[in-house]
Structure 1
Amino acid sequence: MKYLFIFFTAILLASCAETDVQEPVQEEPTEAIEDIEHPDEGNSANEDEPKKEMGLEETADHIVTLLRDQEMEALADYVHPTKGVRFSPYGHINVDEDKVLFAEQLVEVWEDETVYHWGYFDGSGHPIEKTFRDYYDRFVYDHDYANAEETAVNERLGDGMMIDNSDEIYPDADIVDYYFSGFEEEYEGMDWRSLRIVLEEQDGKWYLVGIIHDEWTI
């Protein structure tokens, strides 16, 4: 009887030992799921930060890129709110003839088939009568100024007979010149071209007040 009691006690103890065995503890992941950055939330911390305004040359470069890509709505955001942007076909600015467009007009006129008066051709004196798109092709983005041969700030790179009066017309502005020295060797540089972006700073932002196209004139 004594040995039977010991036998059953041993069985009971063995059974209890099996039930008390703990399962291996699962290690915590090295990064909690809620802390993993979601692809769509990567920049959420910076969304409320104020946008840094671009500097003079950076703004001018961006405007030339918008002109290249014909992004008139985006370009309109840079047009001066009270002065608009004046389009000058040549280096001598004619305030009586050069057309001024405001932001909302710039977007509308891009799709407009109306023929407007933009001034007069150098040499012939014939009126420049064109739609805005046609004027753009001849007197705005007639070459790839986004990849200009040379650029300069407040310096006229092209040399011609026409008097540059931009300092007089835009005394508070800075002008970035995008320049090609020429395209055909036979013309010996007389086929140079420039696109000048005229910018004025207001409340920390650079605004577009003029687009001057320049070339060799007689």
Structure 2
Amino acid sequence: MVKRIVISFLLLLAGCANGQDPSNVKQLERTIEKQQSAIEQLQEKNKQLQKENEQLKTEEKKISSSLLSVALDVVTALKNKDMNTLASYVHSTAGVRFSPYGHVDVQNDLQFSASQLPSLWASTQVYQWGVYDGSGDPIQFTFQDYFDRFVYDVDFANPHMIGNNVVVGTGNMINNIQQAYPNGSFIEFHFTGFDPQYSGMDWRSLRLVFEQENGQWKLVGIIHDEWTT
């Protein structure tokens, strides 16, 4: 655009030097003015877009920071086996779904409401939580036994790595977190492994999935993951 103005200006000078019709010279002047106005409008629009982009980046950082903060509170509640605090973070209508492995079975994985969680810890009722990888045998536990094996089986409050909406632990099982929770965001607490002889095959992950409810992040999924056959 700038090059076009320069060319037009040179044409204007050339026209004057050659005694060109003054009306043509004025037409060139008007063209230059229009082009200059268009450039100024584009520059102003570009500044506005840059400002909006910076605002979006700032907002994304705030949202991401808020999500991580809530997830850290939840994993601390899990570490402390504090079901009352955990319940306060659970989505009021969706409840929270428990998945023993990385592939979420939206039809069969058990879901509980916030009001159910405190009493579950002391309950002796045995539930079927899914099936074991490899054998296909049913996973039958009380809530407390399931918690110790498929929720907080390692110290996830002090992980090797944390993924913010990024899957860190991967294995042979298909991870369908995005399909299972299309409106969700998640934080993953990951251990790369414990015993060197297993070369990382003993990794563990805990993914906490959240959705927005009245402007707040609320827990909707607790996904345990590990190496599978």
Smaller-chain TM-score range? 0.7 to 0.9
Structure 1 residue 201: Cα displacement: 1.3
The CA distance in 2 between the partners of 1:114 and 1:173, in whole Å, is 30
| C-alpha displacement of 1:153 | 1.0
Gaps of 5+ in 2: 1-62
Is 1:155 the counterpart of 2:192? The answer is no
The answer to whether the aligner puts 1:62 opposite 2:73 as a matched pair is yes
1:176 and 2:208 are equivalent in the alignment: no
**What residue identity is the alignment partner of 2:224?**
H
User: How many pairs were matched up?
Assistant: 166
Deviation at 1:155, TM superposition (A): 1.1
SS at match of 1:137: helix
| SS in structure 2 at match of 1:81 | coil
Q: Secondary structure at the match of 1:97?
A: coil
Which residue of the partner structure matches residue 83 of structure 1? 94
Question: Which protein has the larger Cα radius of gyration, Structure 1 or Structure 2?
Answer: 1
Q: C-alpha displacement at 1:159, in angstroms?
A: 1.8
Identity of aligned residues (%): 51
Q: Which residue of 2 aligns with 1:212?
A: 223
CA distance in 2, matches of 1:96, 1:121: 17
Q: Secondary structure at the match of 2:224?
A: strand
2:208 — aligned with what? 197
Q: 2:152 aligns with which of 124, 138, 141?
A: 141
Relative contact order: is structure 1 or structure 2 higher (C-alpha 8 Å, sep ≥ 6)? Answer: 1
SS at match of 1:212: strand
* Aligned counterparts of 1:90 and 1:189: Cα–Cα separation in 2: 17
Partner of 2:138: 127
SS in 2 for 1:62: helix
CA offset digits 1:76-126 (Å, max 9, x no partner)? 011100000000000000112210000111111111011111000000100
Gaps of at least 5 residues in structure 1 are 1-52
SS in 1 for 2:187: strand
Write the distance in 2 (CA, Å) between the matches of 1:177 and 1:58.
13
- Measured against aligned partners, the alpha-carbon deviations of 1:16-66 in whole angstroms (never above 9, x if no partner) come to xxxxxxxxxxxxxxxxxxxxxxxxxxxxxxxxxxxxx98100000000000
In structure 2, how many angstroms separate the alpha carbons of the residues matched to 1:159 and 1:100?
24
Aligned equivalents of 1:146 and 1:106: distance in 2? 20
CA RMSD of aligned residues (A): 1.2
Correspondence for 1:108: 119
